[in-house]
């Protein structure tokens, strides 16, 4: 609807973690609609293709009518404008996230003053999880159960099996 409060939750989601899931669920309570926007970044060599990431998010949130899954490239603020979003949602895990996140929030505000960045903290049991650490720990034989959705864990196993 025209006056719905819309938020964009941008990121790489390579792969989706339970920390992301937690933030999306919190965002869905705060806004009428939350658009999970996966950055299409040809510069990075991702583990999961864009198609795989969209599929994972669709399977996890497909039944939640407040959550929309999309991809974007170019400037985030241009995408937010196109979607008529009121807010950009970002998760803050620790003080170490703060500097980078504050820079991005203020640059985005400079570029588009009428969109607000809203920071949310994930549940504390997810505060140390990042996609980068999940990939590293899994690749080295560590347990990631409970840190990512089950289907992400299964996909990580499939990729490992395909490599040997």
Q: Among residues 104 and 120, whose Cβ is nearest to ligand PNS?
A: 104
Q: Does 54 bind ligand PNS (CB under 6 A)?
A: no
> Shortest CA distance to 12 belongs to which of 135, 115, 127?
135
Q: Does 17 bind ligand PNS (CB under 6 A)?
A: no
Query: Using CB under 6 A, which of 49, 84, 102, 107 touches ligand PNS?
Result: 107
Please give the backbone phi and psi of residue 155, each rounded to the nearest 5 degrees, phi first: -65, -35
Q: How far is the CB of 71 from ligand PNS (least distance, A)?
A: 11
User: What's the rounded Cα separation, in Å, for the pair 71 and 62?
Assistant: 15
Residue 92 near residue 120, CB atoms below 8 Å: yes
CA atoms within 13 A on the CB side of 137: 15
Stretch that binds ligand PNS, among 10-18, 24-32, 61-69, 113-121 (CB under 6 A): 10-18
Residue 79 near residue 40, CB atoms below 8 Å: no
In this structure, what is the dihedral angle of CA atoms 100, 19, 158, 160, given to the nearest 10 degrees? Answer: 50
Does 131 participate in catalysis according to the annotation? Answer: yes
Q: Among residues 107 and 123, whose Cβ is nearest to ligand PNS?
A: 107
Q: Does 76 bind ligand PNS (CB under 6 A)?
A: yes
User: What's the rounded Cα separation, in Å, for the pair 81 and 98?
Assistant: 25
Query: Using CB under 6 A, which of 23, 24, 39, 129 touches ligand PNS?
Result: 39
Q: Which of 53, 90, 93, 135 is catalytic?
A: 93
Q: How many binding residues for ligand PNS (CB under 6 A)?
A: 9
| CA 122 to the chain's CA centroid | 12
**Which residue of the chain is nearest ligand PNS when measured via CB?**
11
Q: How far is the CB of 154 from ligand PNS (least distance, A)?
A: 22
Provide the binding-site residues for ligand PNS, judged by CB under 6 A: 10-12, 39, 75-76, 104, 107-108
- Which residues does the annotation mark as catalytic? 20, 44, 93, 131
């Amino acid at each position: 609807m025209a006056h719905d409060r819309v938020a964009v939750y941008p990121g790489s989601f390579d792969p989706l973690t339970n920390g992301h899931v937690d933030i999306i669920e919190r965002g869905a309570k705060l806004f009428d609609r939350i658009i999970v926007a996966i950055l299409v970044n040809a510069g990075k060599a991702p583990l999961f293709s864009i198609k795989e990431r969209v599929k994972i998010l669709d399977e996890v949130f497909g039944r939640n009518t407040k959550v929309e899954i999309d991809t974007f490239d170019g400037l985030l603020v241009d995408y937010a404008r196109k979607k008529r979003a009121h807010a950009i949602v970002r998760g803050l895990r620790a003080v170490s996230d703060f500097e980078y996140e504050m820079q991005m929030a203020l640059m985005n505000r400079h570029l588009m003053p009428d969109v607000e960045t809203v920071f949310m903290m994930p549940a504390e049991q997810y505060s140390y999880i990042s996609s980068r650490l999940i990939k590293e720990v899994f690749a080295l034989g560590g347990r990631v159960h409970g840190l990512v959705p089950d289907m992400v864990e299964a996909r990580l196993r499939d990729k490992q099996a395909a490599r040997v």
